[in-house]
């Protein structure tokens, strides 16, 4: 019989829950405080020691489980989790640049990367220079003695051009610069970033890994220990962490990720081929189609395509027509992000962000979700009728 008072027992129960429970699914462990066995153990703590636990911000079994799984599927050393894909993008730059340094970013990069480059990085006196995503080995000409990092996004998230990652990586490495890739397009499933030369692979876990449009999260995976350590140190310094319940949702999404990607791949490819036959469509920008700039690179480096792609309308259909088409769709939602359960459509004005883009027509990007293909095609026919 315990002699402790009820208030105490609510915090320190007298009976232990039996050990030995095993579920097929991962558990969700929550913590601010993590308990230690002794003061001596507490004194030995280290936020960089991934075999131990220190504090809620520094990792729990739930977050480590997700880190390990990402590192496993990417074939990397280890990962660090961030509260959004964009936060992960920022932490792929910040640990590696100092005032006076230079970084290279492709002109087709995800727009918020440019905002970061032109905002915080510029304020840190880091020079950001843009390069043509088709430049390949020619990037050598833009690499300077103070170039610390080359950012790659392939395919580009709206215009879908492929970049020659192995050639860019060879040139960057020859000059001692790191290569970081935004690997969100296929969740790394169809591109082995480290085998193709990347040192750092960034994911918006928001997309295919979570896969249900209900959370935002990001990750950085590195090829080696020393690069991981620099990212982790900066994440610890600035208290970057993610909520265990959100991590659980990503862990829950992962086992079905390959099946979801395969479905999106099949339907997207079929709709892309059909769009090519439509008289209203000038160009279909899908990496698996020969019209896509860098298609040969996709064939060489990727083992598949996914559910996001774009098309350009014939010249007589301008921005208003693209808006009318999208507004008339019933199944395709209008909104940012992609790789979730529902199909989405958006039109982009590239005239300011991409002065080097050679196709001036109205561009529409589709995200193919998990709906039936025939229903999606009928919806798009409705859109074309509205033109």
Ligand X SMILES: *Cc1c(COP(=O)(O)O)cnc(C)c1O
Residue numbers at the binding site for ligand X (CB under 6 A): 84-86, 89, 110, 157, 182, 184, 204, 206-207, 216, 218, 337
CB contact at 8 A, 204 and 184: yes
Would strands 147-153 and 178-182 be described as parallel, antiparallel, or unpaired?
A: parallel
Nearer to ligand X, 104 or 339 (CB): 339
Q: Which is nearer to ligand X, 301 or 317 (CB)?
A: 301
Q: Which is nearer to ligand X, 53 or 218 (CB)?
A: 218
In three-state form (DSSP H/G/I as H, E/B as E, the rest C), the secondary structure along 13-44 is: CCCCCCCCCCCCCCCCCCCCECCCCCHHHHHC
Minimum separation from the CB atom of position 84 to ligand X (A):
4
Burial of residue 315, with CB atoms counted within 10 A of its CB: 0-12 exposed, 13-18 middle, 19 or more buried = exposed
| Peptide bond just before 155 cis, omega within 30 deg | yes
Q: How far is CA 8 from CA 2, 12, 13, 37, in A?
A: 11, 6, 8, 20
Looking at the Cβ atoms of 71 and 205, the one nearer to ligand X is 205
Report the residue number, 85 or 211, with the smaller CB distance to ligand X. 85
Rounded to an integer, what is the distance from CA 148 to the centroid of its chain?
Answer: 21
The 3-state DSSP composition of the chain as helix, strand, coil percent (nearest 5) reads 35, 15, 45
Nearest to ligand X of 314, 337 (CB atom): 337
Q: How far is the CB of 308 from ligand X (least distance, A)?
A: 8
When CB distances to ligand X are compared, the closest residue is 85
Supply 228's token pair. 């991981």
Rounded least distance, CB 113 to ligand X, Å: 7
Shortest approach of ligand X to residue 102 CB, angstroms?
Answer: 22
Q: Which is nearer to ligand X, 127 or 337 (CB)?
A: 337
CA atoms of 68 and 235, how far apart (whole Å)? 17
C-beta separation of 196 from 167 below 8 A: no
> Please, what is the minimum distance in Å from the beta carbon of residue 112 to ligand X?
7
Q: At closest approach, how far in Å is the CB of 157 from ligand X? A: 4
Residue pointed to by tokens 């359960």:
341
Whole-number Å distance between alpha carbons of 33 and 354? 48
Q: How far is the CB of 238 from ligand X (least distance, A)?
A: 17
Distance in Å, CB of 45 to ligand X, minimum: 30
Name the residue nearer to ligand X (CB basis): 157 or 310. Answer: 157
The minimum distance between CB 184 and ligand X, in angstroms, equals 4
Residues 6+ apart with CB under 8 A from 222: 76, 77, 78, 79, 199, 200, 201, 228, 231
Total residue count of the chain as it appears in this document: 387
Between 164 and 182, CB nearer to ligand X: 182
Residue appearing with tokens 């950012």: 151
């Amino acid at each position: 019989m315990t002699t402790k008072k009820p208030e105490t027992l609510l915090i320190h129960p007298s009976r232990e829950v039996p050990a030995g429970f095993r579920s097929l699914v991962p558990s969700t462990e929550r913590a601010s405080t993590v308990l230690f066995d002794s003061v001596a153990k507490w004194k030995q703590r280290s936020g960089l020691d991934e075999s131990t636990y220190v504090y809620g911000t520094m990792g729990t079994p739930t977050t480590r489980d997700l880190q390990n799984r990402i590192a496993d599927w990417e074939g990397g050393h280890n990962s660090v989790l961030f509260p959004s894909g964009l936060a992960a993008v920022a932490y792929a730059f910040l640990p590696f640049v100092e005032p006076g340094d230079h970084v290279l970013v492709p002109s087709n990069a995800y727009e918020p990367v440019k905002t970061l480059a032109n905002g915080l990085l510029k304020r840190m006196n880091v020079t950001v220079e843009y390069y043509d995503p088709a430049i390949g080995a020619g990037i050598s000409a833009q690499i300077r003695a103070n170039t610390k990092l080359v950012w790659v996004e392939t395919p580009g998230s709206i215009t879908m051009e492929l970049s020659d990652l192995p050639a860019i990586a060879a040139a960057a490495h020859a000059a001692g610069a790191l290569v970081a890739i935004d690997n969100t397009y296929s969740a790394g499933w169809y591109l082995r970033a480290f085998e193709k030369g990347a040192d750092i692979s960034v994911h918006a876990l928001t997309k295919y890994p979570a896969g249900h449009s209900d959370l935002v999260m990001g990750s950085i995976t590195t090829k080696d220990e020393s690069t991981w350590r620099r990212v982790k140190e900066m994440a610890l310094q600035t208290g970057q962490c993610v909520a265990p319940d959100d991590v659980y949702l990503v862990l829950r999404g992962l086992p079905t990720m390959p099946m979801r990607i395969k479905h999106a791949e099949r339907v997207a490819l079929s709709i892309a081929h059909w769009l090519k036959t439509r008289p209203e469509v000038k160009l279909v920008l899908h990496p698996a189609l020969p019209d896509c700039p860098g298609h040969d690179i996709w064939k060489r480096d990727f083992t598949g395509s996914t559910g996001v792609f774009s098309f350009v309308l014939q010249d007589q259909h301008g921005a208003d027509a693209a808006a009318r088409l999208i507004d008339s769709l019933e199944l395709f939602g209008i909104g940012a992000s992609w790789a979730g359960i529902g199909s989405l459509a958006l039109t982009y004005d590239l005239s300011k962000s991409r002065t080097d883009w050679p196709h001036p027509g109205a561009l529409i990007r589709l995200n193919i979700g998990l709906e039936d293909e025939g229903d999606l095609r009928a919806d798009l026919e409705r859109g074309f009728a509205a033109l």
